[in-house]
Structure 1
């Protein structure tokens, strides 16, 4: 039975290119993606669900990192955070170099901080944040850096409930108005998601949020750098939806 990740004075088991490649494509044949557990989960179950990434030096596969993030989100949902890697010792251990576990591409919304949502600490995540995960060449370069140069095996594209940027775009386009200054760039970046969601019955804002997640995942999967890495099993790109009401991250977006 596994214990949760411990914050220790020793340097963590860090991912290396050899270790990442060792997982290979076989790692992607793992169990399907899961939504985060509800808040009623017991603390003991939550602790058991957290794989000890720092303690084991096996292949750091995309599936293994995904399970680690799901376990961290369960702790956030249940209010049983362990706050790993938030000590002076950890700060000193990663000062010279970093080896994050995952890259998270998410919204700038102040209520959706990935390190807290996944109960991670210093040096654990590369985080790229824009309004509603709007993407351009500079942003995509940052995402590519996390996967190609920093060797993070997992890329999570995370949208969220009641996204303010999406609400603004939906209201603007529904009214046929022009947005001021560079907000017009945000409107144009989200227009494909708006158009994709428009025919879908239900909450237009929520449908647009989910469409934006799917479109961004699809775009990144065809990125010239990321596509071959995912095909090799060295990386995995997944979509996720964060609930402001419950704190749960649902990876069953696609």
Structure 2
């Protein structure tokens, strides 16, 4: 995939950061996508940024559980419509993962802007599951690319930055494309996911490890997916 620049300044390159050393030929990979801004051409690869630090515990937790885990460093902090730079970078990363690990099953884990990018890029052939945490959605995002994938969306009820109503409406549409769609609500937490970290971590772990075949499928998630919309799309986590 060709990459360039959608804004001022020289062309940049995204980067995959392995979380820990893993097998040379892993059976499963998780790509972790952090959040960002609606519009910004600032570099996104600085480790001190909160958006990056927010996803690091998830990446480390998943890596210790078995899959090979990569964090994606975008070229820019912004989504930057109509270029959708985060989606371009996510597709590049999935191509690169497919080149490095051609026999692996890949899952996407994204927060906020990263959740939106994960949902948009789900049609890559190596993707089997998408977990979107507090995704930034506005009603314009398609769902057709989710066909054949498992999807879990989660939102806190104290959210102030992204709209839980939009993620619910998106989940209703997604359920028409893939029956393996569910949505959970983390009560007492907001966008930063710092008040109920154990609930967020458990939800992510149970879903992704189950979808990658590294653990038994979680019965609550399975039941939420089994139920027709709108059931299974406002399930309390914990």
TM normalised by structure 1 equals 0.29
TM normalised by structure 2 equals 0.30
Which structure carries more relative contact order (alpha carbon 8 Å, separation 6+)?
Answer: 1
Task: From the CA coordinates, give the structure whose radius of gyration is larger.
Answer: 1
Structure having the higher strand fraction is 2
